[in-house]
Structure 1
């Protein structure tokens, strides 16, 4: 069985591969040099941007959702640490915060500006990254998460689309 592809598809795939082969690894290598320990979050965020259709017009709602997920995750971790059963605290905080984020995006004007999937993803990323640290050692990690999310959506995600569009425009001349 052979797969037929157009030359435009092949060129777009190759340019995407080149971009992905260079930009994310550069971020991975350079980000720790200026104190960012959350570089892999950029790849997750870029993957979310891609899964949402690689549409630069969707970048703002995606990044807003990811960024709102950071304090949401911090709240979840603080609620989990309350006195009592950590498992019950975690269960209740995840139930309540998850439902509230979906309801806010689905039933209010917020949903026009904030991507609910990105909010939930940012929340989960934050819990994953900060959950392995004591609260007293979070310091700049939330800001590093935000920077990595911005890099993922805008530099890698939107940047890849812009690079592809530029290359396709210049290749057709």
Structure 2
């Protein structure tokens, strides 16, 4: 087999092994650690990888996800207070908060990755949207933990494992 095809299969195989080993471990441990929405980590890892799998983007991405989580709580809280027409409330909150997130994130790109903020907000609204604000409990914190785990453990962890495995294979 030619070298470039071999390298391709080493890349694919090492990534497949990393994905097969590490994220399932989180899926098993998350509920034991009290993190109910563990799958949020996989979504956030996917965004991290789609954004280029670059470690220098990890902190701005984490900040964005956590701001999105906060944005979801604030959105739900505001809609509960407004309490007039759910469709109009939703539109107004999405309009105002979406615009504010873009302006905030785009003016601080070194610290906040805007797509992660918007994605984190969507994740938060999806996971918490059917609950009354008074019933959220620790769920926003659990979502935040899963977001951080997604970027660091799944995103960076799988990439680091893959690189380590490729180096070991290259030595033999």
Query: Which bracket does the TM-score occupy, shorter chain normalised?
Result: over 0.9
2:101 corresponding residue in structure 1: 101
1:90 corresponding residue in structure 2: 90
Within-5 A mapping of 1:49-128: 49-81=48-80, 82-106=82-106, 108=107, 110-128=108-126
How many corresponding residue pairs?
A: 168
Write the distance in 2 (CA, Å) between the matches of 1:105 and 1:33. Answer: 34
Calculate the aligned-residue CA RMSD, in Å: 1.4
1:27 corresponding residue in structure 2: 26
Task: Give the deviation of 1:34 after TM superposition.
Answer: 2.2
TM-score when normalising by structure 1? 0.92
Write the distance in 1 (CA, Å) between the matches of 2:153 and 2:117. Answer: 19
Cα 1:172–1:5 shift into 2, 3 Å: closer
Gap runs ≥5 in structure 1: none
Quick check: 2:105–2:113 contact (8 Å CA) kept in 1? yes
Task: Give the deviation of 1:152 after TM superposition.
Answer: 0.7
Quick check: 1:79–1:90 contact (8 Å CA) kept in 2? no
TM-score when normalising by structure 2? 0.92
Gap runs ≥5 in structure 2: none
Structure 1 stretches (4+) deviating beyond 3 angstroms? none
